[in-house]
Structure 1
């Protein structure tokens, strides 16, 4: 059975590019989102996020009639769910995953399901989430059979196929990267491959749903552990008066060593989040993963302490000024360079903390965002910030920041831009 109409539930940083890729292959695509602004923007042939090349693909798809966005699901042959998977609001040391958006998405598409449809969960999820989603679908549609009912030929096929793309390169990587296909049954995997091969040029590797879920969590947990090593190394080097950037460069000359670069923390809705899904399910076993999370989560506090010391040094060097006279510029607010994504951003978190501790004016420079992010934080251009700031805190390696002539005496460089410029 071919897939003539594809529905993508959730039109964010993954859902919209995925919908656009199917539409670019002349599939009829129905994108669904609860955000009316996003729906209206897409239906004008425009995009509401920053992602290179995506604007052209979406514009062409909408103009040619292959992509439309709606607020409510419509019948289709395949449904891809790409909604957030946040944590529940609690004060526990180990956050608990919140699957409410997946549940809501499942229940929203249930009324329009028909025999032969395929439902794929793309949202990064705790192990077992795909089975839960299939259960929610079954609760709503008792007239249809699902993989848990019929392991050979269910009416509805269900799979988990996590995305594996890098923000800023999503359009290319959706096509080129391999995909992990985790069907609840072999037939579910087979049909999922058929769907993704519409545009995926990478290999589609088959496993079961639980292993596919764990694969994505493992990839991001591995990165988190590697970043934690670099971040912890930067703290150690600071205490020992060693240049961590030089140290890592020297260590990486070893043919089997590749230490990552430290930063102000870890952000994004993957590396900063996914390891907790493993820790929450296996808290006694996931000791290393849990420790890495704690190291990376504490790095912003270390940066704040460095800022406090820099303020004190500035006031000692400028006795005619008081704390209320100090203007601090935060360079970068997104979680990684050259995108507009603020999800779990340590840079934004640090800027908000600086706003609270600084008795003077706090300004921000963020080339990828055109509006104030939080009340009290003034958003200025690079030129305006350079003329006003007494102290600069570099939080993100945006390409625009490399040409700035920072006064090294009053800079807290958390990402090594000054070292990059020298080398």
Structure 2
């Protein structure tokens, strides 16, 4: 049975083993703010560990679903079963009032989205709202952890000062740490529990110590302590910048493939057998809520131009236009004008098997082809009408449609079952090097490999 004694982890002189027992016995109430694609799995894992978690979300439907033992997050193996268990035994409950949760909690974990404005500036409104709400319920000894990806300096310049000013507490009475989520859609529980080392950095040494104690219990992997919150924030966004620049290199090589008349994908593969070379794979573009966003989190905080990172963004953003131009050129070679063509865009989600369209390269591709006058059929088996940006054509209907061209943007497994034999001669553009054994009558161009 849970003890009625409630304790905080920051600034305590209790032995570490006693703090750990307090955490795992539920005597350190936890509040997780944000029950989205990563927030709900995180809250469920915390509940599994501590038995005393309040999940907070402003969406009343999300709260009702979770309290009923269900989940609105799909495509995450094991999540539905875990949520069912931890809500049934009372380890997890959900509310839509962050102030209510903050009053009772001693460990506060924010995992809300950081988006971009139309001017591509970081929008921290969701985190700011959480911080303001938590501040009014903050107690001495509380620890506030940010898992949301944020621009470097956010915890130091925004979170800690706001908590202090709104709570009336001195900064040395509570802790603030940045402990970035290092998870991917479709494997959230596995990643949260420790697929990779957990990074923790506090605004002071005591915040770092308290956060490390928490995550040493929560995850199975190594916990890496860094110098401060800003270093930890940089770790997260630097991971995304590395991938963005590396993918841009691969995509730039794919863009000059025709001039070189070489299979760039093959050349990259062999180059990577040298241990100091690790070029990524070219493709249709970069989507999702991570890689296309993180460079702007850094651009916003520095005075330098960062030309390499900006150029990488431009290259990756150019890939949908390259796909569209390849379609136009292929049709033109056959004597078909783009404005007279019906083109299937295969995949609107940014990743295979993930019902998420944020920053998907398919969106600018559809807009480009549409602006040229083509009739576009968008096909995506993991999306429903409510989650799609455009009307969707079912695969079964597509196979009964006369097409002039098809572009593979997202390699959903279902596209492997398409009956290409049933179509007359098509122009095919493969943005993922995934269309195999096409009939010879189809003219297929593979990004990075060329005409196939």
Q: Choose 194-203 or 210-219, whichever is displaced more.
A: 194-203
Q: 1:129 aligns with which of 147, 154, 168?
A: 154
Structure 1 residues 165, 373: closer, same or farther in 2, change over 3 A? closer
Counterpart in the other structure of 1:190: 209
Q: Which runs of 4+ in 1 moved over 6 A?
A: 420-423
Q: Structure 2: which 5+ runs fail to align?
A: 1-8, 10-21, 440-451
Between the aligned partners of 2:437 and 2:45, the Cα distance in structure 1 is: 36
Counterpart in the other structure of 2:372: 357
Q: Measure how far apart 1:225 and its partner are.
A: 0.9
Q: 2:246 aligns with which of 226, 229, 251?
A: 226
Alignment TM-score, normalising by the size of structure 1: 0.88
Between the aligned partners of 1:49 and 1:421, the Cα distance in structure 2 is: 36
Between the aligned partners of 2:185 and 2:49, the Cα distance in structure 1 is: 22
Asked whether 1:174 is paired with 2:189, we answer no
Counterpart in the other structure of 1:150: none
Asked whether the 8 Å contact 1:278–1:286 carries over to 2, the reply is: no
| Partner SS for 1:229 | helix
Structure 1 residues 420, 200: closer, same or farther in 2, change over 3 A? farther
Between the aligned partners of 1:402 and 1:136, the Cα distance in structure 2 is: 52
Superposed, 1:203-352 pairs within 5 Å as 203-207=222-226, 208-284=228-304, 286-313=306-333, 316=335, 326-352=341-367
Counterpart in the other structure of 2:18: none
Counterpart in the other structure of 2:411: 397
Between the aligned partners of 2:61 and 2:330, the Cα distance in structure 1 is: 42
Asked whether the 8 Å contact 1:20–1:67 carries over to 2, the reply is: yes
- Give deviations 1:305-331, integer Å, cap 9, x for gaps: 2233344345x16xxxx7665322111
Structure 1 residues 420, 202: closer, same or farther in 2, change over 3 A? farther
| Partner SS for 1:11 | coil
Structure 1 residues 21, 358: closer, same or farther in 2, change over 3 A? farther
Alignment TM-score, normalising by the size of structure 2: 0.83
Counterpart in the other structure of 1:140: 166
Asked whether 1:415 is paired with 2:426, we answer no
Q: Measure how far apart 1:180 and its partner are.
A: 0.7
Asked whether the 8 Å contact 1:77–1:116 carries over to 2, the reply is: yes
Q: Measure how far apart 1:241 and its partner are.
A: 3.8
Q: 2:114 aligns with which of 74, 85, 90?
A: 85
Structure 1 residues 238, 38: closer, same or farther in 2, change over 3 A? farther
Between the aligned partners of 2:56 and 2:437, the Cα distance in structure 1 is: 43
- Give deviations 1:176-210, integer Å, cap 9, x for gaps: 22111111111111111222233201111111111
Structure 1 residues 103, 255: closer, same or farther in 2, change over 3 A? closer
Structure 1 residues 306, 112: closer, same or farther in 2, change over 3 A? same
Q: Measure how far apart 1:374 and its partner are.
A: 5.4
Asked whether the 8 Å contact 1:330–1:363 carries over to 2, the reply is: yes
| Partner SS for 1:302 | helix
Counterpart in the other structure of 1:72: 97
Superposed, 1:366-385 pairs within 5 Å as 366-371=380-385, 373=387, 377-385=390-398
Counterpart in the other structure of 2:12: none
Asked whether the 8 Å contact 1:245–1:419 carries over to 2, the reply is: no
Q: Measure how far apart 1:139 and its partner are.
A: 2.1
Structure 1 residues 421, 119: closer, same or farther in 2, change over 3 A? farther
Structure 1 residues 390, 372: closer, same or farther in 2, change over 3 A? farther
Asked whether the 8 Å contact 1:245–1:416 carries over to 2, the reply is: no
- CA root-mean-square deviation: 2.4
Between the aligned partners of 1:181 and 1:373, the Cα distance in structure 2 is: 34
Between the aligned partners of 1:279 and 1:63, the Cα distance in structure 2 is: 45
Structure 1 residues 323, 87: closer, same or farther in 2, change over 3 A? closer
Counterpart in the other structure of 1:149: none
Between the aligned partners of 1:71 and 1:239, the Cα distance in structure 2 is: 57
Structure 1 residues 106, 247: closer, same or farther in 2, change over 3 A? same
| Partner SS for 2:406 | strand
Q: Structure 1: which 5+ runs fail to align?
A: 147-153
| Partner SS for 1:198 | helix
- Alignment size in residue pairs: 404
